[in-house]
Amino acid sequence: MAKRKRRNHSPTFKAQATVAALKGDKTLAELAQHFDVHPNQITDWKSQLLERAAQVFGEASGATAPEPDLKTLHAKIGQLALENDFLESALTKAGRL
């Protein structure tokens, strides 16, 4: 028996199969045959949907974290590098490094 080529399913396809499984109108075996996937795959997609369902309703629509100010971050990196160099030279002179 020849191996089946690995398939990548679209998110829409996964959503359709998962919603059909959640409705409970058909058995898992019927859904697997209808969508031409293994029953375990539908079960995995269903568990993923249930785990992440809270994220759909919990996040504000379109809200993203603000972009950090790169100029400030670069200045902080420079300051920390300068402090590290100073401390390294001080510890070297003290014989601790």
Each residue's pLDDT tens digit, 43-72:
999 999 999 888 877 765 555 678 889 999
Mean pLDDT score, 15-24: 93
> What pLDDT digit, counting tens, does each position of 21-31 carry?
999 899 999 99
Tell me what pLDDT residue 2 has: 77
b/e per residue, 61-76, with b = 16+ CB within 10 A?
A: eeeeeeeeeeeeeeee
Name the residue with tokens 């019927």: 30
| DSSP string over 56-85 | HHHSPTT--PPPP-HHHHHHHHHHHHHHHH
Q: How confident is the model at residue 19 (pLDDT cuts 50, 70, 90)?
A: very high
Question: Can you give the residue ranges of every domain in the chain?
Answer: 8-59, 68-97
